[in-house]
Structure formats: C-alpha cells, structure tokens
Amino acid sequence: EDQVTQSPEALRLQEGESSSLNCSYTVSGLRGLFWYRQDPGKGPEFLFTLYSAGEEKEKERLKATLTKKESFLHITAPKPEDSATYLCAVHPRGSNTGKLIFGQGTTLQVKP
C-alpha cells in the first residue's frame, strides 16, 4: 500500500537554528513528490515539486532534496514567519489521475 510518513510530528527551533524535516514514502514508483506549507486556518500553499532522485530545489531559506526512499526539507536560519505545518505528498507512478497521497505533516514553530 502506498504510504507517506513525515517526521518529526512537531519541531521547535530557535530563530537561526537550522534543521531538516523528513518525508519517507513507500510507493510503487514515484511520479512526483510535492511539498506544501499550511498556515493555521488556511489551505496548503505549494512550495516544491521533485521528480527524480538527486533532484534539489531551493526557495529562500528552504531547500528540498529527494532520494529513492525519502525527501528532506532543509530550513536554513529559520525565522518566526517560517512557523507553519509542512506537508509532503506523493503521486504514485501507477496513477494517471492526479491522486496525491499526503503525509500527516510536521508542525514547525520558530521562536524569536
């Protein structure tokens, strides 16, 4: 069964303290892996798409990487405004329908 597991569930950082969020997946082939940010009371906001192992993408303080079994979202020198829940989702290769399988998310809190 296709599955996505994110860790840790919650992460507290001091401003400037870099860290990484993990997304492990078990799918029958990967068509794409997506990272989203969700603020309280809002819908998920798209961050990155990764398609193949070894691929990396960056946006401001965020960098997403992909291996054959997991993806990492690295946060460098985070600021309080980076506090949010970060969601990972995969699109299995066997599906042509756009069905995404989401992890449960990592809630990040950055303290000033």
Partner 1 sequence: DTAVSQTPKYLVTQMGNDKSIKCEQNLGHDTMYWYKQDSKKFLKIMFSYNNKELIINETVPNRFSPKSPDKAHLNLHINSLELGDSAVYFCASSPWGSGESEQYFGPGTRLTVT
Describe the strand order of the beta sheet including 70-75 as a list of residue ranges. 3-7, 19-26, 70-75, 62-66, 56-59
- Using alpha carbons only, what angle is made at residue 75 by residues 49 and 4, rounded to the nearest 5 degrees? 50
Other Cβ atoms less than 10 A from the Cβ of 107: the count is: 17
Give Cβ neighbours of residue 83 (< 8 Å, ≥ 6 apart).
108, 109, 110
Other Cβ atoms less than 10 A from the Cβ of 86: the count is: 24
**Closest distance between partner 1 and the C-beta of residue 64, in Å?**
13
Question: Please, which residues bridge with residue 24 across strands?
Answer: 5, 70
Please report whether residue 100 would count as binding partner 1 according to CB under 8 A.
Answer: yes
Q: Taking CB under 8 A as the criterion, which residues in 53-92 touch partner 1?
A: 85, 87, 89, 91
Return the range that interacts with partner 1 (CB under 8 A); candidates 10-18, 29-37, 64-72, 73-81: 29-37
**Closest distance between partner 1 and the C-beta of residue 52, in Å?**
12
Return the range that interacts with partner 1 (CB under 8 A); candidates 14-22, 56-64, 65-73, 104-112: 104-112
Q: Which of 42, 60, 68, 112 binds partner 1 (CB under 8 A)?
A: 42
Q: Which residues bind partner 1 (CB under 8 A)?
A: 31-32, 34, 36, 38, 41-46, 49, 51, 85, 87, 89, 91, 95-100, 102, 104-105, 107
